[in-house]
Amino acid sequence: MTESQDRVDARRAIQEKAIARRREREQKDERIAKLAVAVNVALKTGRRALEEAEAEAWEALTQMITTESIRVTEAIEWVGDSMLTPREVARLRGLSRTKPSPSDVASSIRELALRQVDGMIVAAQVSMPTLAAISECGIRTVLINQFSAVDGVPSVGPDLYEGARTGVNQPHLARAHQHRVRGRDGTA
C-alpha cells in the first residue's frame, strides 16, 4: 500500500465515523423531539384540566358566597383545605371568565369584599346599586365628594354654596371680579 492509498483509507474511515456520529445525533434529536412533544402535550393537558378545575371551584365558591350569603372566611372554613386562603379566593376570582367591567363600582365593591378588606373609601358618585353593594358587603365605608348625605354611610362632601360664597369674598378675587364686571372703560 502506498502513502496515497493510506490517505484515501484514512479519509474514508473519518467520513464513515462522521456519518455514524451524524446519524447518532439525528436519532438523538428525534428522540429528544418526541420527548419534548410529550412534555408539551402533558403540560397543556394539565393546564387545561387545572383551568377547568379552578373555574368549577370558583363557581362553587361564588354560589356559597352569594347564593348562600356566607362570608369568604366561612366558605374557606367549610372547604377545609389549608391551601385555600382569601388571597387564593381572590386569585380564582381574577381567573373567572365573567369579570365585571372596571367602571362598575358596585362590582368592584363586591370584589373588595371577597378580598376581606377592613374598610374602603369611595370617591365616586354612588348609585342605588352601589349603595346596595356597600350595605350588603358590610365593609366600613367613607364616601368622598358626595353632594348629598347618604343615610347610614359616613361621607365627606363639598358645601358648594358656602365654597362659592367664600371664594368670591376673597379680597384678591373680589378685585379681579370687579375689574371684569366694570369693563375697561370703568362703566358698569
List the chain domain ranges. Answer: 160-188
Tell me, what's the pLDDT at 97?
55
Q: Is 155 helix (H, G, I), strand (E, B) or coil?
A: strand
Round to whole Å and give the CA distance between 112 and 141. 12
Q: Is 150 helix (H, G, I), strand (E, B) or coil?
A: strand
| Phi and psi, residue 125, nearest 5° | -65, 130
Contact between residue 112 and residue 95 where contact means Cβ atoms under 8 Å apart: no
Q: Which amino acid would we find at residue 33? A: A
Residue by residue, pLDDT tens for the chain (188 residues) are 688 888 899 999 999 999 999 999 999 999 999 999 999 999 999 999 998 899 899 889 988 888 888 888 889 999 998 889 888 888 887 777 554 443 467 777 777 777 778 888 877 667 777 777 777 777 888 878 776 666 777 777 777 777 777 777 777 665 655 555 555 555 55
Record the pTM: 0.42
Residues 6+ apart with CB under 8 A from 185: none
Q: Which of 68, 106, 78, 72 is nearest to 92 (CA)?
A: 72
Tell me, what's the pLDDT at 172?
65
Tell me, what's the pLDDT at 15?
94
> Which set of grid coordinates corresponds to residue 89?
379566593
Q: Which amino acid would we find at residue 44? A: K
Alpha helices in the chain (DSSP H): 3-62, 72-79, 86-95, 105-114, 128-137, 160-168, 171-182
Tell me, what's the pLDDT at 99?
46
Per the rule left: phi > 0, alpha: psi between -120 and 50, beta: everything else, 153 is beta
Round to whole Å and give the CA distance between 170 and 140. 38
Tell me, what's the pLDDT at 103?
47
- Per-residue pLDDT of 48-100, as tens digits, reads 999 889 989 988 998 888 888 888 888 999 999 888 988 888 888 777 755 44
Q: How far is CA 47 from the centre of its chain?
A: 20
